[in-house]
């Protein structure tokens, strides 16, 4: 990604559909690093997936993941020795992608946002925020990406502007502050990726 300007990814043109690693469904890859990496050799990856039936998650050795519900009633996750209920009202859920994990849908299919990083090289944090009007963000992460879940939002950083609509994503051009402006209301996911 170019660090001197906004990198904008539009859901209608830039995302790539591909099968799950375990063959149990389809995922929409938003971005991956390094560019062109596969599900077996990425350093970090951001994707959306539709889960239409109960079943196990793919295992990703050495990977940490954070899962968020975008659409649907949610699911119950059995992650190693714990059970977690995850809905669209809940905060993003971080957990290791290399432990046995299975999902049971609460009431029908869901769409999730999935952020994964290679543990030996990167770490990440995902925050969900709702904004109306203006808000200022700051992050000390090496990379800040903004995923627009609902609504429209304008972003400004380092004198550069970009506008996002629902399901678009942008990577900030600097580690400095980002100004957000929204005429109505927008729900965003802030994805911070740091070098290990």
d(CA 67, CA 55): 16
Q: Is-contact 32 111, C-beta < 8 A?
A: no
pLDDT in tens, 27-44: 899 999 999 998 889 999
Please state the rounded mean pLDDT for residues 129-141. Answer: 93
Q: Is-contact 16 28, C-beta < 8 A?
A: yes
Percent of the chain beyond pLDDT 90? Answer: 72
Residue spans of the domains in the chain: they are 9-121, 123-195
Q: What is the pLDDT of residue 2?
A: 42
Q: What is the pLDDT of residue 195?
A: 95
Q: Is-contact 145 170, C-beta < 8 A?
A: yes
Domain covering 9-121, topology: Jelly Rolls (2.60.120)
Q: Is the pLDDT of residue 3 over 60?
A: no
The maximal CA–CA distance of the chain, rounded, in angstroms, is 48
pLDDT in tens, 40-94: 899 999 999 998 899 999 899 999 999 999 999 999 999 998 999 999 999 999 9
Please state the rounded mean pLDDT for residues 115-144. Answer: 95
Q: What is the pLDDT of residue 25?
A: 67
Give the pair of three-digit tokens for residue 143.
């990379």
CATH among 2.60.120.10, 3.40.50.2300, 2.40.10.480, 3.40.50.150 for 123-195: 2.60.120.10
d(CA 19, CA 162): 31
């Amino acid at each position: 990604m170019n660090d001197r300007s906004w990198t904008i990814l539009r859901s209608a043109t830039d995302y790539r559909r591909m099968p799950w690693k375990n063959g149990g469904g389809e995922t929409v890859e938003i971005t991956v690093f390094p560019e062109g990496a596969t599900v077996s050799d990425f350093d970090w990856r951001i994707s959306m997936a539709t889960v239409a039936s109960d079943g196990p998650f793919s295992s990703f050795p050495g990977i940490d993941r954070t899962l968020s519900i975008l659409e649907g009633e949610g699911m119950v996750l059995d992650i190693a020795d714990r059970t977690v209920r995850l809905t669209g009202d809940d905060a993003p859920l971080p957990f290791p992608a290399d432990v046995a994990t299975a999902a049971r849908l609460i009431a029908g299919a869901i769409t999730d946002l999935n952020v994964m990083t290679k543990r030996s090289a990167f770490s990440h944090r995902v925050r969900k925020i709702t904004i109306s009007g203006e808000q200022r963000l700051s992050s000390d992460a090496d990379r800040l990406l903004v995923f627009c879940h609902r609504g429209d939002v304008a972003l400004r950083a380092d004198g550069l502007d970009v506008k996002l609509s629902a399901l678009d994503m942008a990577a900030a051009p600097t580690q400095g502050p980002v100004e957000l402006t929204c005429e109505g209301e927008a729900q965003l996911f802030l994805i911070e990726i740091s070098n290990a």
